[in-house]
Amino acid sequence: MIDELVINSGALFHSHAAMAHRLTTIDLHMQALKFSAAHFTIFNAKERERLHGHNYAVTCRITAPVGEDGLTCDYAIFKNKLYALINGLDEYTLIAKNSRHHRIEEEGDFYKVWFHDHYLMLRKAETILMPIRNTTVEELSFYFLEQLCCDAAFLQQHDIRKLEITVASGPGQHGSAIWER
């Protein structure tokens, strides 16, 4: 067992105990962390985008100490949690349930989404009312982060120090949400 590590001719010394508390960040950014969904962004009480779709990509960054065995945590657990969340949104129309600029009524098998002076009729079976204020990458990143952070015991058990979720709606267009202990 190494008691000290000397780097740059003695400029930096790390004891074995200090190395046991090193933090690292694991990036989960893979092809499978994607979903397709329709949405519209609301700009104000009178302006919104037309209903359209994106192929969203989700990235998760996990910061935690490296353990004695050289592992941070079983990040396959995070991948599985993300897959479940992503699969639950794939190929649906996402409507911001908490928007102050529209109201949602139910009519049989449809949601009637009123905006300004018109409405959209959306099939309930193909629509998810999201607990967000707007269907933007910013709000979607907070949604994913809240879903991952709701298991406080899991975060504590794996000594997770920081989580960052990024949702991209296309190349060069993304939003991130961060939780830190």
Question: Residue 59 and residue 168: Cα distance in Å, rounded?
Answer: 8
Rounded mean pLDDT of the chain?
A: 89
Q: Give per-residue pLDDT as tens, 5-55.
A: 334 444 444 555 555 568 999 999 888 899 999 999 999 999 999 999 999
Q: pLDDT digit string (tens) for 71-80? A: 888 888 889 9
DSSP 71: -
Q: Which residues neighbour 47 within 8 Å (Cβ) at sequence distance 6 or greater?
A: none
pTM across the whole model: 0.85
* For the chain, domain boundaries: 22-180
CATH for the 22-180 domain, from 3.30.479.10, 3.30.420.40, 3.30.70.380, 3.30.465.10: 3.30.479.10
- What pLDDT, in 10s, does the model give residues 115-163? 999 999 999 999 999 999 999 999 999 999 999 999 898 899 889 999 9
